[in-house]
Amino acid sequence: MGILYKKTQDLSGVSKQRKEEFQNLTEKQKFENKVSGIFGQKRVQAMVKRQDLDSELVLGRGPDNNAFIILGNDRTGKPHEGYGAQGHTQCDAIDIVAGLGGHAPKEVDSKDREVTTNPNFFLDAARIYISQKTDIDKNFGIAEFGLSQNGVSRPDDRRGLGVHGAKSAVAIKADNVRLIGRESIRLVTGTDKTNSQGGDVLAKTGIELLAMNDPTTLQPIVLGDNLEAALITIVKNVEDLAKVMHGYIKYQMKFNHVLQQHTHNSPFFGIATLPSGPVISAGITCDIETAAKTELSILKHITNLQGLIHNYLTDSGESYINSRLNKVN
């Protein structure tokens, strides 16, 4: 759970003059001058001076904050970073950022000298970044899964671009991100035969869910219908085996009953002997134990298997393993 470390009002990074002017006002004067920050009035906080480039158009900035919308070229930080700085064409970009400078914005340094601020994909508070050509995983510090990924290979990747580098991309970053659809949400890949750079899409690429930015534990997603079919087959095989065992026990009980009554011909005129008392006693005990425990256990086992299929592997079951709403391919 996140903890709010910041003060409700933080004037750090504000110039000495602006800070003193604000602090010398009474609460009434702050309200009258419309700088109290309450009821929609302007606030006093550090207003960063973004280092704008000639090729950029600041389409908008909050009147009392560090929210920006910038149209320009691919820029991942300082003026020399990104494809725009390298003179590339077709690397148009839109940068929407709320909280440039992150949790510690500065308009002046510790000696009250004006400072400039550049985009920072790791420090800035929240951002939607759209670029025609960028190294999306590298720029945002997203772990790569190696030089081969989902059938895509880039063995000559000396620049560390990753398999998704130098292509168009959209990144959304914040402490918490929510995608909300009133009716549905679809994550779709493989819609086009060519990518944004005019190259062929040569491989089937999928959707990767990467918790904790750790690719070492990445595994394929199970397909519910296939898993259901496999589990039903396994359960049916176990049930068939239990029925075979049940039949064997019945045959064994019949054999045991015959064995209990087994006699031999005596040497005295071939008269049949009496059945063995210990064998009769052991046979009766075996029959009782088999009927009361083993046979009932197997019947209960078969019943439980049927219940497992109904509860977990049937779409009407209370604990059906497949989601009734969410699907993957």
Q: pLDDT tens for residues 52-87?
A: 999 999 999 999 999 999 999 999 999 999 999 999
**Amino acid 276: pLDDT:** 61
Q: pLDDT, tens digit, for every residue of 151-175?
A: 455 555 556 566 678 899 999 999 9
Residue with more model confidence, 47 or 276 = 47
pLDDT exceeds 80 at position 285: no
Instruction: Domain ranges for the chain, please list them.
Output: 1-33+47-218, 224-312
pLDDT exceeds 80 at position 149: no
How wide is the angle at C-alpha 73 spanned by C-alphas 70 and 78, nearest 5°? Answer: 80
Q: pLDDT, tens digit, for every residue of 32-43?
A: 999 999 999 999
Residue with more model confidence, 153 or 290 = 290
| pLDDT band for position 148 (cuts 50, 70, 90) | very low
* Token digits of residue 171: 């990144």
**Amino acid 310: pLDDT:** 87
Q: Which of 16, 49, 22 is nearest to 35 (CA)?
A: 22
Q: Which of 279, 280, 283 is nearest to 256 (CA)?
A: 283
